[in-house]
Amino acid sequence: MKSYIKRGVIFLAASLVVFCVLFVLIQTDVINAYYSQILMVICINIILALSTNLIINYTGQLTLGHSAFMAIGAYASAFIQMNTGLPFFLSLLCGSVVAAVFGFLIGLPTLRLKGDYLAITTLGFCQIVVVAIQNIDALGGAQGLAGIPPKTTFAWVFFSMIATIAILYNIVHANQGRAMISVREDEIAAEAMGIDTTRYKIMSFTTGAFFAGYAGGLYAFLMMFIDPNSFNFLKSIDFVIYVVLGGTGGFVGCIASTSILTLLPEVLRFLGDLRMVIYPLLLIVIMILRVKNIRVTSFLRRKSGAAKPKERGEDHAAA
């Protein structure tokens, strides 16, 4: 328990130091408005990646429609704020709850499906949401929703990201997280042990939808304009790529891969249209290197594991 609290204090202290450094650099224009916006997008994408990570890596469910919940949260938050004048945080919270409700309602029937069927169903839901928004005039239709007040600040997105990391970390290291992992490893065995697998799958799906909706709200108030095509299935594929490149279940890997892949297109922007070719090629190279690294690591572990019994045998012989 003491080590758990110690890690929490260290994480909070490190987060405050990073925030203070970045905040000072932004305020003194060392980091200009363009790059500060990129930093905010990175924070938003980290929230989205971690919420996807909860569903894919911890519960073992492949979702290809996570951007739908981002869209629901973005439009709901913006619409509520623009039409009711609710405070910024309450608008974000309402949008997140709406996304979570949709996540629960969609997850209830679809999470009984497995494998490719679930992926196809979530992909279909994403397309339905995009088409529905395009045909709702109150949300701006296909032209998009403009006039959203610029409420998102660096402090908001940074501490929202920190809160998301802390909450999801606590979930996956609690009993619920262990139950989710058991569902991922062997659903039949988990059911045999008395774990309600459907319940935990819906829990992870709804929680992921909530944080995706929250990130969507932050995105809407940052960009001040949103349109349905910003949330198509390709956006969901981006989240899956962040999670896959980040590794199985790890928070640090997921955060690192999201930061790098969000920044990479901006770094390559000077190449013009050529970056659209170089970016996917770099993704392929990164994936190949990652797979090779995994193989080398597992090989070294096997070697070290085989060497230890041998050393013990030699010690006994010498004795």
Coil/strand/helix, residue 146: strand
Structural domain contains residue 171: yes
Report the pLDDT averaged over residues 230-236.
88
Q: For residue 90, count other CB atoms closer than 10 A to its CB.
A: 13
pLDDT band per the 50, 70, 90 thresholds, residue 291: low
Q: Write out the DSSP string of 126-159.
A: HHHHHHHHHT-GGGTGGG-EE-------HHHHHH
Lowest-confidence region among 16-20, 52-56, 246-250: 246-250
pLDDT value of position 319: 47
Structural domain contains residue 267: no
pLDDT band per the 50, 70, 90 thresholds, residue 297: very low
Structural domain contains residue 126: yes
In tens, the pLDDT along 173-193 reads 888 888 888 888 888 888 888
Structurally, how many domains does the chain consist of? 1
Structural domain contains residue 3: no
92 vs 244, residue with greater confidence: 92
Contact between 216 and 77 (Cβ < 8 Å)? yes
pLDDT value of position 249: 59
Name, in order, each residue with C-beta under 8 angstroms of 294's C-beta and a sequence gap of 6 or more: none
Structural domain contains residue 251: no
Structural domain contains residue 25: no
Q: Which amino acid is at 150?
A: P
Question: What percentage of the chain carries pLDDT values higher than 70?
Answer: 85
Our CA dihedral for 215, 208, 254, 154, rounded to 10 degrees, sits at: 20
Containing domain of residue 87, as a range? 32-234
Name, in order, each residue with C-beta under 8 angstroms of 282's C-beta and a sequence gap of 6 or more: 264
Structural domain contains residue 210: yes
pLDDT band per the 50, 70, 90 thresholds, residue 267: confident
Query: How many Cα atoms are found within 13 Å in the side-chain-facing hemisphere of 5?
Result: 2
pLDDT value of position 115: 66
Structural domain contains residue 141: yes
| CA-based nearest residue to 82, from 162, 128, 138, 124 | 138
Report the pLDDT averaged over residues 105-134.
85
Q: Which parts of 37-169 are beta strand (E)?
A: 145-146
Q: For residue 155, count other CB atoms closer than 10 A to its CB.
A: 12
In tens, the pLDDT along 141-165 reads 889 899 999 999 999 999 999 999 9
